[in-house]
A and B are shown apart, each in its own frame.
With several copies, the nearest count.
Chain A
Amino acid sequence: MTVRVQSEDFDVGAESRALQAETVGGIALFVGTVRGLSSDDGVTAMVLEHFPGMTEGELERIEAEARARWPLEDVTIIHRVGRLLPGEQIVLVAAASAHRRAAFDAAQFIMDFLKTDAPFWKAEERGDDRRWVEARDSDSTARGRWSE
């Protein structure tokens, strides 16, 4: 199990390889990236702040909940903080399992809970304008469907 909060970029290939093992049949990964100017958002940069000490604990708690629900061989969660430019990677969630469906569901579950529970905050820059991103109802909805 790997949980990291860091300013440096991460290597999706290396993280995927690190989860490969003879007991693993599949690895589901999600890479979140910064949308930018050429999208509707018009964002020129993203600044990510977090709550050191609490963040890692929340990510470990989410990971433990995923392991309790699905037969997972291993999980990796990496989240970047600091100033990121459009196209850059923000977050990686990877879940390895003997079973494809478990890997997919666990990765999606972890992303949904990370979005609502992990103490990260984003500010978007558009030129000289800097604005804190508001939480979206769709993220609470996504989290809610796991308790159905």
Chain B
Amino acid sequence: MTLTIRYFAWMREHTGTDLETVDLPDGVARVGDLVPHLATISDGHALALQNLQVVRVAVNRAYGDLDTPVAAGDEVAFFPPVTGG
């Protein structure tokens, strides 16, 4: 299953990328299942994803959480709490 992953703000800086395509095994059904796989990509990925308490998630540009289902072709974004305005 192929997914598009996006990172913003300090998560983008830690992972060193704003956009990557990842191939994942079939057992991955929810956002939370993604995390152990992404964390192996680099030390920066592991650092970015080490504290999921402070991470927000969007699936296909709508807010979700670690329980949100994912399917092939989805775009999953990870980012810190927003600070605009």
Contact = CB atoms under 8 A, between A and B. Distances in A.
Direct contact of A and B (CB under 8 A): yes
Interface of A: 32, 48-51, 53-54, 57, 79, 90-91, 100, 111, 114-123, 132-136
B84 A91 contact: yes
7 contacts: A51-B6, A51-B79, A53-B61, A90-B84, A118-B84, A119-B8, A133-B83
Contact of B79 (A111, A116, A119, A123): A119
B85 A114 contact: yes
- Secondary structure of the A side of the interface? mixed
Interface in B51-80: 58, 61-63, 77, 79-80
A51 B85 CA distance: 14
Contacts of B62: 54, 57
B8 A118 contact: no
B9 interface: yes
Contacts of B80: 121, 132, 134-135
